Structure 1
Amino acid sequence: MYSAQAEAKPVLKPVLKLVGSGVVMLLAGCGMGMDDATDYAARTFSGNGEQIYYTGRSQAGTAITYQGGTMHAQMHSTSCASCHGDDRQGKRLYPKFWLVAPALTRHALTEEHDDGHGDHERYDKNSLKVAIRHGLDPAGKGLNTAMPRWQISEEDMDDLVSFLITDSH
């Protein structure tokens, strides 16, 4: 006698193994390819803007908070460097490997017209502040929602923007 249930058991077992392995890999790899802000804790920084970029904390010890971003950013302490990289060249985002955070070098922000993430004018200090706080490029178009919207004091913002625009990376 034919039983659909008997036939399903051999198929179900490999599927469950595959799903279980995927969950284990996801949990084990959480953070894989991402630099958490705590990775930079022992580093010495030349100024407040650089410290904010790498750690998400000001030199006064204030955490720079944010809303949105990737699932990883929402689950972990993150910073600009977590997505844009130690060298500020940008990198693939975890877990959305098809997205690449753009470079945040002085050249990419102020000298190139198209950063590969939309055709817009160069950033200046004011438009960069708008991008960081509100997620809008210089043309007023929304940045990808993977970019967190940062709540940051004006003094800390000035230091961060100055670091991004004047640093030679």
Structure 2
Amino acid sequence: MEKSEIVVAIIAVVVVAFFLLNFLTPYGYMPMMGYGGYPMGGYNPMMGYSDERYYPPGCCQGPAEFSSNGEKIYFTGINEKGERIPFTGGPQWLVMHGGSCVNCHGRDGRGGLVPMMCNEKAPDIRYSALTEEEMSDEEIRIAITKGEHDNETLDWCMPRWQMSDEDLNDIIAYLKELG
């Protein structure tokens, strides 16, 4: 084999490997990558093997249209004015790729998912669950914006959302709709 034939063979192998890794992988929803990411339970070259206990398929997909500003914020992290809600803290994938409440607490707000790159299950944030613990609306606001509850700091995976009073009231109203 001549040197040029070896170079051509190596290039062919690289092209075929690239094709197999990028185009034959089935696509689905992945919280870090949004729609079109690698399916949960599969192999992602960047993150390795994943486990469906963390994000079951379809857990985070929102409706096609939103009935309220609070619902839109819950599913997209963007308010009805089209503004992304800024935040501090949270897992790195949220900082890099965006996200919202649904990515950790699920479609129904019941939590129970372990957010990617976090160590604890996300809690149930339905209004009924929060007020069962005797949280007032003001305490819910503080948990969302400052990451504090009962004079304790919440886990670092909980972002500190910097939203307007209007958006904050709308997200609390949506938590009431969840139950």
Tell whether the structures are fold-level matches, with TM greater than 0.5.
yes
Between Structure 1 and Structure 2, which shows a larger proportion of strand residues?
A: 2
Runs of 4+ in 1 over 6 A off after TM superposition: none
Trace 1:146-157 onto structure 2 (pairs within 5 A). 146-157=157-168
- For structure 2, the 5+ residue unaligned runs are 1-42
Measured after TM superposition, the shift of residue 34 of structure 1 is 8.3
Pick one of 154, 157, 177 that aligns with 1:167: 177
Measured after TM superposition, the shift of residue 61 of structure 1 is 0.9
Trace 1:31-46 onto structure 2 (pairs within 5 A). 33=55, 39-40=61-62, 43-46=64-67
Question: Is 2:82 the partner of 1:61?
Answer: yes
C-alpha RMSD over aligned residues: 2.5
3-state SS, counterpart of residue 92 of structure 1: coil
* 1:109-168 deviations in Å (ceiling 9; x for gaps): 112x3xxxxxxxx2211111111110001x12110011001110111111111221x214
Measured after TM superposition, the shift of residue 108 of structure 1 is 1.0
Question: Is 2:144 the partner of 1:123?
Answer: no
3-state SS, counterpart of residue 167 of structure 1: helix
Between Structure 1 and Structure 2, which shows a larger proportion of helix residues?
A: 1
Pick one of 70, 73, 94 that aligns with 2:91: 70
Number of aligned residue pairs: 131
3-state SS, counterpart of residue 148 of structure 2: coil
What percentage of aligned pairs have identical amino acids?
33
Trace 1:71-86 onto structure 2 (pairs within 5 A). 71-86=92-107
- 1:92–1:101: 8 Å Cα contact kept in structure 2? yes
- 2:61–2:107: 8 Å Cα contact kept in structure 1? no
Aligned to 2:115: 93
Q: Residue 68 and residue 47 in structure 1: after superposition, are their counterparts in 2 closer, same or farther (change >3 A)?
A: same
TM-score, normalisation: structure 1: 0.68
Measured after TM superposition, the shift of residue 95 of structure 1 is 2.3
Amino acid at match of 1:72: W
Q: Distance in 1 between matches of 2:162 and 2:170?
A: 14
- For structure 1, the 5+ residue unaligned runs are 1-21, 114-121
* 1:81-108 deviations in Å (ceiling 9; x for gaps): 1101011111111123x41010111221
- 1:48–1:159: 8 Å Cα contact kept in structure 2? yes
- 1:83–1:92: 8 Å Cα contact kept in structure 2? yes
